[in-house]
Amino acid sequence: TREWQLAARPHGEPTPDDFRLVELERPGPAEGQVVVRMLVMSVDPYMRGRMNAGKSYAAPWEIGETMKGGAVGRVVESRSPAVPEGSLVLADAAWRDVAVLDAAHVRVLPELPGIPPSYYLGVLGMPGLTAWVGLFRMAEFREADAVFVSGAAGAVGSLVGQFARLNGASRVVGSAGTPEKVRWLTGELGFDAAFDYHDGPVAELLRDAAPEGIDVFFDNVGGEHLEAAIGAFNEHGRGALCGAISGYNAVEPPPGPRNMFLMVGKKLSLRGFIVGDHTDMRDEFTTKVTRMVTSGDLVVRETVRDGLDDAVDTFLDLLRGGNTGKMIVKLAEG
């Protein structure tokens, strides 16, 4: 079996030298274990935090440790009656091609028409639930709200904007990093307005895109985007603080929003959250979003790259914005 390990902690932007691909002898499965051949694995922004020493929102990877992440695979050998050979399973187990896992640590997935395995890493997986929890529970989205989502062309953001539109938002505005992404948001996803945040001060771009102000902000980016949203909020505005990717490679703490005091007069509430604390919403989310996917109401897009050998390049490209929709690494057919 081949797997990626963390070789060094990055200073600023990670480089390929911070990772190494190793070949290991694979033990046979013990009683209660299964052997899983991975089909697709996820690369996610939170993994950048795991490369640092000290806790971010996930525990750090140790140097020389197997890097882990969400993956879907096929059970090729089983010593657990609960997870028979042939099952499609989700596990926090990849950055490797094959893994021996405790059956208790895998989740058996349904195999539904129109739902490829990779969807369990995106729209029907952790990023999808993040979008759902953040919009509906944290930001308490209500019909007729005007919504702004930063990082809108990514895995989480592209779903937030669509959930808001499908639930009666008065206006949906998104930001993203390229003109193509901006066109995709307004063209295919039905955003009312979108802008490329490279095109000027975010506060000005947002004012033009949402002249009547915003009621809800879903933040994936932080920094200048957060300051701009605080400025654009209407009274009683609500923000879900999901991520702050503009600062993940920062070596010094980035400056905070300079206009926090506006929160007082506007009576704003901004709430940070971690999706893992909200798994009680998973059943409702899965039922409703599966229906939205199979009915075609939801536009689902992935950027799929091939192979374990290139998984690090794919991860680094995710951090630089090389993806539209969910970034997926394809490992095998099946």
Pairing of the two strands 171-176 and 214-219: unpaired
Least distance CB 250 / ligand NDP (angstroms) = 10
Q: Which of 116, 115, 91 is nearest to 41 (CA)?
A: 91
Strand, helix or coil at 151?
coil
Q: How far apart are CA 19 and CA 1, in angstroms?
A: 17
Q: What are the structure tokens assigned to 151, written together?
A: 């990082």
Q: What share of the chain is helix, strand, coil (3-state, %, to 5)?
A: 30, 25, 40
Residues 103-132 that bind ligand NDP (CB under 6 A): 127, 130
**227, 323, 328, 329: which one contacts ligand NDP (CB under 6 A)?**
323
Pick the closer one to ligand NDP by CB: 118 or 220: 220
Q: How far apart are CA 31 and CA 100, in angstroms?
A: 11
Decide if residue 69 touches ligand NDP (CB under 6 A).
Answer: no
Say how many residues touch ligand NDP, by CB under 6 A.
29
**138, 193, 245, 292: which one contacts ligand NDP (CB under 6 A)?**
245
Instruction: Quickly list DSSP for 28-46.
Output: PPPTTEEEEEEEEEE--TH
**44, 97, 192, 215: which one contacts ligand NDP (CB under 6 A)?**
44
Instruction: Quickly list DSSP for 59-87.
Output: PPPPTTSBP--EEEEEEEEES-TTS-TT-
Q: What are the structure tokens assigned to 314, written together?
A: 């794919």
Residue range at the interface with ligand NDP (CB under 6 A); choices 11-19, 91-99, 173-181, 227-235: 173-181
Report whether 206 contacts 217 (CB < 8 A): no
Residue range at the interface with ligand NDP (CB under 6 A); choices 14-22, 69-77, 149-157, 254-262: 149-157
Decide if residue 243 touches ligand NDP (CB under 6 A).
Answer: yes
Helix (H) / strand (E) element for 46: namely helix 46-50
Please count the other Cβ atoms lying within 10 Å of the Cβ belonging to residue 284: 11
Pick the closer one to ligand NDP by CB: 35 or 51: 51
Pick the closer one to ligand NDP by CB: 98 or 138: 138
**101, 155, 173, 289: which one contacts ligand NDP (CB under 6 A)?**
155
Residue range at the interface with ligand NDP (CB under 6 A); choices 42-50, 138-146, 166-174, 288-296: 42-50
Residues that bind ligand NDP (CB under 6 A): 44-46, 127, 130, 151, 153-157, 176-178, 181, 220-221, 242-243, 245-246, 273-275, 318-319, 321, 323, 327
